[in-house]
Amino acid sequence: MTTFIIRRLLLVPVLLFGVTVIIFLMLQLLSPIERTALYVRDFPKNEKAVDGIIKRYGLDKPFYEQYWRWLVGVNDPITGVRSGGIVYGDFGYSRTSSQPVNELIANRFPNTVDLTIWTIAPMILVGIWLGVQSAVHHNGFFDQAARMFSIIGTSFPTFVFGLLVLMFFYANLGWFSPGRLSDDFNAVVSSAEFTRYTQLVTFDALLNGRFDIFLDAISHMVLPILTLSYINWATFLRVTRSSMLETLRMEYVTTARAKGLSENDVIYKHAQPNAMIPVITLAGFSVVGLLGGVTITETVFNYPGIGSAAARAAVNLDVVTVLGFAIFIGFILIIANLIVDILYAVVDPRVRLS
Amino acid sequence: MTEQIPSGDNSLLTATLSTRKIGWFEKFVGPENYRILLGLLKTPASIIGLSLIMIYVLIGLLAPVIAPPVKPDKDPYMIPRDGFSADPKPMGTEWRRNKPPVPFWYTPLTGKEEWVHLMGTSEGQYDIFYYVIWGVRTAFYTGLLVTVATLILGVIYGSISAYYGGWVDNLMMRLIEVLMILPSLLAALILAAVLTPRIGKSLIPVMTALIAFGWMGYARIIRGDILSVKERDYIMAARVVGVKDSRILFRHIIPNAIFPTLVLASLAIGDVVLGFAALSFLGIGTETGYADWGQVLSFARNWITALDQYWYIVVWPGLALVFFVMGWNLLGDALRDVLDPRMRGRS
């Protein structure tokens, strides 16, 4: 177990180094003038200023020197103030949203976390339930229906499904609207009387005792949650079903039946726990995927998370900002994958022993 | 008592033993691969999938007949626009400006003389029917090109990695892990955003981005298959008789290992088209007015409050995309069953 964790931990710096190199290489495709946004807020006004900045931050130096400066930042020789330096979390300036990239991330990431938290339960529980039911009724009506459902689910692109859902529930019925909060609640949330304990709107609303804001926030999240769950149900169904079918064929299940246990006990107490092992991995990686920002879903529903912010910056060709997001997301995913792998090893002895 | 005399007549034997004629095709693809192909032709899901794909192939081939271009010398992939006003027009509105020639099937089928916008127009008066029909060609074009390119890249990379083994293999596989950290859509989005100002708005930046972040899966699969084929007896036999390493790799290992990768690649076209549409939906991709399903769907984002009225901007291109992807998914689903070793010998 310890060797497994150590080996897995050793991989982390390798992956981090790899991701930074890839993103740095993409930055090198930009001209030095565009890359000044890594260090200075405003676009330099004249050619002389451009040359000065390029010289000061070494943007004309060989790439390994630039890579190093990009990692640790450049100290101003007079004031000693550091600018840039991704190891300090300084990803440069977002010229399209006129604020530092890390501030933009800090504003947006809590919303993505909020959405992830509320998506976990419907996504995983319903997905597993569907899978177990279709394995239990193998080749029966439920199984066939579930199979059709999963094929349709995997064929529906997120944005088509999202647009149809919006068309129906927002434009036609007017039940749920896109965005994050209604305008008047937005004003309340950004005012001083509303304390941001956790930065997560739903939890802050509850902690401040504003149940109306909580409901409003949830009602804005219903459609994204529905879309994300629907898209993932198909995968959960498929994995749970095949794992469950395999488990139900095992001899210990026959033994359990032979000693006269009720079918419910056989399925839910003996078979299901063992069948859940691959599902747990899938659940882990799905949650990690949600945390990494769901670009399309957030864009369709105009939800201010990191995915939609990255997409907007990309469309406006603000590459420095997008790459800042990419580093942040890469970092989150590497750490989260590490946690999932270790948890998996804890759950399944076969992994840690191999 | 009659005596049985051995007559040399084997009719009893041939009657009990089932014999099967082995056609040239089975010899050509090999018995295992033949079973897979046969299995695909027997499952209802894959038949529906194949028919869907065939319908799209036909639409793609007949695009100039179904939706004739305005002028023969103009780029047919640029959607004809009927004026410039912002609001989408409903289905059945008559063409005013820039009217394409009426196709021969139109009058007998609808009983009308005048060419109308069959599926309405999007903002900027681009005809949605033209988007849907000519978008089929764009879908096949991008899907095939990206798939072939990623397949070639993946097979070369995976073979090198598996062939050399040791630390080379280790390093190359770590590199794949690094490339797979970022969600592929986000990675492709970033690369497309970097490339677009340099190349200009066209199919090329998006396709390059999809290729750059799409080959890793194939590399992993072919590597695994090569590693298992490498251990077979006939490779050992080839080594023993002194065949050169390169010849063993190209003549004996790769041809025997490549089939699963090829099949997977041929079914990945649906996913590639989905990725492409997703990027154009986000707003990165072809210039406005290029026949591309994702682009019409991205128009819908500007009309979210009025989608009850302008539903046709979402529904028609959405359905075109969904059925396209569904065709490949149905085929892929059937393939998964056929390839599953536990199902062997059941079909």
How far apart (Å, rounded) are the C-alpha atoms in residues A204 and A226? 23
Closest CA to A150 of A125, A129, A132, A127: A127
pLDDT exceeds 90 at position B264? no
Q: Which residues contact A149 (CB under 8 A, 6 or more apart)?
A: A130, A233, A234, A237
Q: Are A100 and A208 in contact (CB under 8 A)?
A: no
Q: Does A291 reach chain B within 8 Å, measured CB to CB?
A: no
pLDDT digits (tens, 9 = 90+) for A189-202: 777 777 788 888 88
**Domains, chain A:** 2-94 (no CATH), 103-353 (1.10.3720.10)
pLDDT at B250: 84
pLDDT band at B18, cuts 50/70/90? low
Compare all CA atoms of chain B with the CA of A245 and give the residue at the minimum distance: B342
pLDDT exceeds 90 at position B323? yes
Interface-testing mutation among B178, B213, B293, B335, with chain A (most A C-beta atoms within 10 A): B178
Set of chain A residues whose Cβ sits within 8 Å of the Cβ of B300: 163
How far apart (Å, rounded) are the C-alpha atoms in residues B53 and B71? 29
pLDDT exceeds 70 at position A354? no
- Kindly report which listed range (A325-329, B282-286, B322-326) carries the lowest average pLDDT score: B282-286
How far apart (Å, rounded) are the C-alpha atoms in residues B120 and B128? 6
Smallest CA–CA separation between A275 and chain B, in Å?
Answer: 17
- Better-scored residue on pLDDT, A252 or B27: A252
Closest CA to A112 of A319, A304, A352, A341: A304
Q: Does A322 reach chain B within 8 Å, measured CB to CB?
A: yes
Set of chain A residues whose Cβ sits within 8 Å of the Cβ of B195: 29
pLDDT at A149: 85
| Interface contact B322-A29, CB threshold 8 A | no
Please give the share of chain B, as a percent, with pLDDT higher than 70.
93
Please name the residues between 27 and 56 in chain A that touch chain B, using a CB distance below 8 Å. Answer: 29-30
- Better-scored residue on pLDDT, B136 or A64: B136
When CB atoms are compared, the residue of A22, A147, A302 closest to B179 is A22
Q: What are the phi and psi torsion angles at A313 (to 5°)? A: -60, -40
The domain ranges of chain B are: 49-343
Task: Name the token pair of A257.
Answer: 């039946």
| Interface contact A164-B274, CB threshold 8 A | no
pLDDT at A291: 83
pLDDT band at B347, cuts 50/70/90? very low
Q: Does B192 reach chain A within 8 Å, measured CB to CB?
A: yes
Angle between helix B293-300 and B269-282 (nearest 10) = 40
Q: Would you say the C-alpha torsion B18, B21, B26, B30 has a positive or negative sign? A: positive
pLDDT exceeds 80 at position B212? yes
pLDDT band at B5, cuts 50/70/90? low
pLDDT at B346: 43
Task: Name the token pair of B88.
Answer: 């989408």
Question: What mean pLDDT do residues B249-270 have?
Answer: 82
pLDDT band at B209, cuts 50/70/90? very high
Please name the residues between 258 and 297 in chain B that touch chain A, using a CB distance below 8 Å. Answer: 270, 274, 277-278, 281-284, 297
pLDDT at B340: 63
Closest CA to B138 of B263, B245, B296, B267: B296
| Interface contact A159-B297, CB threshold 8 A | yes
| Alpha-carbon torsion, ordered B38, B39, B44, B50, to 10 deg | -60
- Better-scored residue on pLDDT, B342 or A153: A153
pLDDT at A118: 92
Q: Does A78 reach chain B within 8 Å, measured CB to CB?
A: no
How far apart (Å, rounded) are the C-alpha atoms in residues B118 and B312? 10
Question: What mean pLDDT do residues B170-182 have?
Answer: 89
Question: 3-class DSSP state for residue A83?
Answer: strand
CATH superfamily, with its number, for domain B49-343: MetI-like (1.10.3720.10)
pLDDT band at B4, cuts 50/70/90? low
pLDDT exceeds 60 at position B248? yes
How far apart (Å, rounded) are the C-alpha atoms in residues A289 and A235? 13
pLDDT at B142: 93
What interface predicted TM-score (ipTM) does this complex get? 0.84
Q: What are the phi and psi torsion angles at B127 (to 5°)? A: -75, 125
User: How far, in Å, are A243, B130, B207, B237 from residue B110 at the CA level?
Assistant: 52, 17, 39, 69
Question: What mean pLDDT do residues A270-294 have?
Answer: 84
Q: Are A133 and A236 in contact (CB under 8 A)?
A: no
Q: Are B265 and B283 in contact (CB under 8 A)?
A: no
Question: What mean pLDDT do residues B140-166 have?
Answer: 91
Q: Does B3 reach chain A within 8 Å, measured CB to CB?
A: no
pLDDT exceeds 60 at position A28? yes
pLDDT at A235: 87
Interface-testing mutation among B56, B194, B312, with chain A (most A C-beta atoms within 10 A): B194
Task: Name the token pair of A18.
Answer: 């790899």
Q: Does B171 reach chain A within 8 Å, measured CB to CB?
A: no
Listed in order, strand segments (DSSP E) in B184-286 are: none
Q: Which residues contact A58 (CB under 8 A, 6 or more apart)?
A: A65, A66, A69, A74
Question: For chains A and B, what is the number of CB pairs under 8 angstroms?
Answer: 145
- Better-scored residue on pLDDT, B73 or A286: A286
pLDDT digits (tens, 9 = 90+) for B32-68: 778 777 777 777 888 888 899 999 999 999 888 887 8
What does the DSSP assignment read for A318-343?
Answer: -HHHHHHHHHHHHHHHHHHHHHHHHH
- Kindly report which listed range (A305-314, B92-101, B188-197) carries the lowest average pLDDT score: B92-101
- Better-scored residue on pLDDT, B322 or A72: B322
DSSP category for residue A250: S
How far apart (Å, rounded) are the C-alpha atoms in residues B22 and B67? 46
How many Cα atoms occupy the beta-carbon half-sphere of A203 within 13 Å? 12
Q: Are B325 and B132 in contact (CB under 8 A)?
A: no
pLDDT at A209: 80
Set of chain A residues whose Cβ sits within 8 Å of the Cβ of B325: 154-155, 157
pLDDT digits (tens, 9 = 90+) for B84-115: 877 887 877 777 777 777 777 777 777 777 77
Q: Does B199 reach chain A within 8 Å, measured CB to CB?
A: no
Compare all CA atoms of chain A with the CA of B195 and give the residue at the minimum distance: A29
| Interface contact A18-B45, CB threshold 8 A | no
| Interface contact A164-B297, CB threshold 8 A | no
pLDDT at B61: 92
pLDDT digits (tens, 9 = 90+) for A232-262: 898 899 889 989 988 888 899 889 989 988 8
